[in-house]
Amino acid sequence: MGLILGIESSCDETAAAVVENGRKVHSSVIATQIDLHKAFGGVVPEIAARAHLQLIDQIVDEALDKAKVTLDQIDAIAVTQGPGLIGALLVGICYAKGMAVASGKPLIPINHVEAHIHGAMLGLSTAAEELYPCLALVVSGGHTNIYLMPDPTTFQLLAYSIDDACGESFDKVSKLFGLGYPGGPVIEKLARAGDPRAYAMPRMMEQKDKLLFSYSGLKTYMVNLRQRLPTPIPDDVLGHLCASFQEEALGQLVRKLEGAYTLHPEARSILIAGGVAANLRFRHLVHERIGIPAYFPQLQYCSDNAAMIAALGYHHLEKAGKAATFMNYNWDAFSRYQFTDNMV
């Protein structure tokens, strides 16, 4: 019961993958719609849903072909149930339901945010006993969540943002400086030429034991700072601004990880996932400041992909112990992150 077909269509990536035992990726195909949405400065839900509809069968076929397997050889299908754009989700879910009904395979509904964490374990050979219990940070354009995970399918939410997500603050600051979308990669690049101490940033949510994030104050500070600067902003000043902003945006993540580890010293490792996990300065800060092993996804598994969906699907199937649990196809999609009964 180890070969899972994953399907992802929650936002602007149509993706399918075949993964064995939650770790070994046989194929991972991702079609990004970034160019379709660029002109609008963000993802347009209806355009996203229609683009998924055009591509999904090709992408799933390609994932099976690349893995050199047929649907017959797949043990179960895992698909993103939410959170995400409803129209976009429905495309993947309906497609997966159709496949499951036609083939008689179990269909596993997956929480996209929780699946991101499994992206950090793709291709990893570290034994489960060395990883769990672990702390997990999902840091993307929509979420800044820390979980305590006693095992691969239990996610106890310890921290979340009371306003903007960390990646969202990179995107908004990038827009403010006319640097385009997504903001993270361009700010990271410009920050390399700047001095992170050039501008004193407000330190948000400083209390380490208070596990909540906040990014809107930092963003407002940047808006006010921008008003005092000339147009165009000289290149060296822009580098300093990006470096100073990035250092505090990432610094808050590191402080809260330190706080979470102090509260949960039983954690054996830290898993970090989501778009911001691609940031090399962040990876450096985590390795420097956190005293337990930290695992980041390979770059292709930081942003949305279906391999992480298949990986978490495998663990749900393994926990249930029998495929029959997932033969009920009568369930709905959800648009926002759902707090489970694991909320602590």
Starting at the earlier edge strand, list the strands of the sheet with 294-295.
212-213, 156-161, 144-149, 134-139, 269-273, 294-295
Residues paired with residue 149 on neighbouring β-strands, in sequence order? 134
Q: Which of 304, 309, 315, 333 binds Zn ion (CB under 5 A)?
A: 304
- Residues 124-163 touching ligand KG4, rule: CB under 6 A, are 140-142
- What's the closest the beta carbon of residue 157 comes to ligand KG4, in angstroms? 17
Site pattern 112..131 for ligand KG4 (x: CB under 6 A): --------------------
Whose Cβ is closer to ligand KG4: residue 92's or residue 142's?
A: 142
Between 11 and 136, name the residue whose CB sits nearer to ligand KG4.
11
Among Zn ion, ligand KG4, none, what binds residue 269 when CB lies within 5 to 8 Å by partner kind?
A: none
**With binding defined as CB under 6 A, does residue 252 bind ligand KG4?**
no
114 binds Zn ion (CB under 5 A): no
Residue 168 binding Zn ion, by CB under 5 A: no
339, with CB counted inside 10 A (0-12, 13-18, 19+), is: exposed
CA atoms within 13 Å, Cβ hemisphere of 7: 33
Query: 165 near 275, Cβ under 8 Å?
Result: no
Alpha helices per DSSP H over the chain:
34-38, 45-67, 86-103, 112-119, 128-131, 166-176, 183-191, 216-227, 235-263, 280-289, 307-320
In whole angstroms, the minimum distance from the beta carbon of 86 to ligand KG4 comes to 15
Binding track over 260-299 against ligand KG4, x by CB under 6 A: --------------xxx-xx--------------------
Would you state the structure tokens that stand for residue 295, as one six-digit string? 């695992």
Task: Tell me the DSSP string of 267-290.
Answer: --EEEEESGGGG-HHHHHHHHHH-
Query: Can residue 171 be called a binding residue for ligand KG4 (CB under 6 A)?
Result: yes
Give the shortest CB-185-to-ligand KG4 separation in angstroms: 5
The pairing of strands 294-295 and 3-8 is unpaired
Residues 302-341 that bind ligand KG4 (CB under 6 A): 303-304
Nearest Cα neighbor of 271 from 185, 160, 145 is 145
Contacts to ligand KG4 by CB under 6 A: 11, 140-142, 167-168, 170-171, 182-185, 188, 274-276, 278-279, 303-304
